[in-house]
Amino acid sequence: MSMLQHNLIDFSVEAYHDGALETIGKEDLLGHWSVLFFYPADFSFVCPTELEDLQDHYAEFKKAGCEIYSVSCDTQWVHKAWHDANEKIGKVQYPMLADTTGKLARDLETYNEESGLAERGDFIIDPEGKVVAYEVISSNVGRNAEEILRRVKASQFVYEHGDQVCPAKWEPGDETLEPSLDLVGEL
């Protein structure tokens, strides 16, 4: 079953963000682009490299009008402790969501019932709260923030220009395609 166009459930979770605790819900994701970036656990191995990579590109995501929300099934207290203890995570400025019940992970089908952890999944959410792109991969393979950002920008372009599509490796400013019978067999 595809998660494309899936409308996020109403949710409310605690988060660690900018040195404070806050509550984040679905309403906080509406009206702008978002990336929900699920990872298995704090104080782990691949996860800090991914979260640091996202932080290294955070200004570019914000410039594109997109907020990043990292999500694991750890508590907000563990997020704070990890932020305080790890140099890579200490840089993180985006909200770190605590999906302690796994409700959000289950909604997006990234929850692993056997381990009680979220799988590595990233979901691009449009301003209406719908999934427009996603990827779920093995827990031992890290993801690339630049590719996620490229997919955000391409998703934004087709959201605004519904009559056009973005070819492989498309970047803003590159040519797009207008689907038509004339293009069949020509590309």
- Say yes or no to pLDDT of 105 above 80: yes
What average pLDDT score do residues 113-117 get?
Answer: 95
Q: How many CB atoms lie within 10 A of CB 105?
A: 22
What average pLDDT score do residues 60-78 get?
Answer: 98
Of the CATH numbers 3.40.47.10, 3.40.30.10, 3.40.50.700, 3.30.1360.120, which one belongs to the domain with range 12-142? 3.40.30.10
What pLDDT score was predicted for residue 184? 61
- Say yes or no to pLDDT of 69 above 80: yes
Distance between alpha carbon 85 and the CA centroid of its chain, in Å?
24
What average pLDDT score do residues 152-173 get?
Answer: 93
Q: Which helix (H) or strand (E) holds 94?
A: none
- Say yes or no to pLDDT of 183 above 90: no
Q: Tokens representing 180?
A: 């038509």
Secondary structure E strands in the chain: 12-17, 20-25, 33-38, 66-72, 96-98, 111-112, 117-118, 120-125, 131-137
Q: Give pLDDT tens digits for 125-149.
A: 999 999 999 999 988 899 999 999 9
Distance between alpha carbon 171 and the CA centroid of its chain, in Å?
19
**Known active-site residue 166:** no
Strand partners, 16: 21, 96
Strand partners, 69: 36
Asked if residues 70 and 43 have their Cβ atoms less than 8 Å apart, the reply is no
- Say yes or no to pLDDT of 185 above 80: no
What average pLDDT score do residues 41-55 get?
Answer: 96
What pLDDT score was predicted for residue 181? 63
The catalytic residue among 47, 66, 73, 166 is 47
What pLDDT score was predicted for residue 163? 86
- Say yes or no to pLDDT of 153 above 70: yes
What average pLDDT score do residues 15-42 get?
Answer: 98
What pLDDT score was predicted for residue 137? 94
Indicate whether this model's pTM tops 0.85: yes
Q: Where are the domains of the chain?
A: 12-142
Distance between alpha carbon 24 and the CA centroid of its chain, in Å?
15
Phi, psi of 112 (to 5 degrees): -100, 105
Q: Tokens representing 128?
A: 């209406």
59-121-147 Cα angle (round to 5) = 45
Asked if residues 94 and 70 have their Cβ atoms less than 8 Å apart, the reply is yes
Among 113, 125, 106, CA closest to 37: 125
Amino acid in the structure at residue 26: K
What average pLDDT score do residues 59-75 get?
Answer: 98
Q: Tokens representing 105?
A: 């992970």
